[in-house]
Amino acid sequence: FIVMDHEYFEVAPFILLCMYAAKKFGPKIATSLDEKRQKSMDVFYHRPLNVQKQISANVTDYCNTQKEYYGSTKTYYQIARENVDLQLEAIYRLRLVEAHKAVAKRMNYQIDKDRAAKHYQQKHMLNWIVRSVISSVTPQLEKDTFK
């Protein structure tokens, strides 16, 4: 069954009006949207891409000139690499010493903590034993012991 309400008869004219508007104004709207999209593509994609290409070409040219300049002096690169390696090794050794000191500090802390805990436990146990012995001594036992 088809249910018809008061808006049912407005659907066909609305569809026809939409089709007419699409045929009449659709190409103009599509053209203007394509132009806007092309402008935004130029601004946000092509222009930065061209700038990046230019920068990349400039960097490549600079690198090539530097390569030609330093190409004859290969010992310079070797010395620079050795210098960097020595610096890295010095940094590594400093960090290794720092790590060793940090680990030793933590271990000493743990040892001191364990010693303090044992000392506290021994002191507590000794006090507990003394209190137990004192409380177990009765006046009669005390008289017998001192006679």
* Site of tokens 């088809």: 2
Per-residue pLDDT of the chain (147 residues; tens, 9 = 90+): 567 777 778 888 999 999 999 999 999 999 999 999 999 999 999 998 999 999 999 999 999 888 877 776 777 788 889 999 999 999 999 999 999 999 999 999 999 999 999 999 999 999 999 999 888 877 787 788 777
- Please tell me the distance from the alpha carbon of residue 79 to that of residue 136, in angstroms, as a whole number: 85
Q: How confident is the model at residue 144, as a pLDDT?
A: 81
Three-class HEC string of the chain? CCCCCCCHHHHHHHHHHHHHHHHHHHHHHHHHHHHHHHHHHHHHHHHHHHHHHHHHHHHHHHHHHHHHHHHCCHHHHHHHHHHHHHHHHHHHHHHHHHHHHHHHHHHHHHHHHHHHHHHHHHHHHHHHHHHHHHHHCCHHHHHHHHC
Q: How confident is the model at residue 133, as a pLDDT?
A: 87
Q: How confident is the model at residue 91, as a pLDDT?
A: 97
One-letter amino acid at 4 equals M
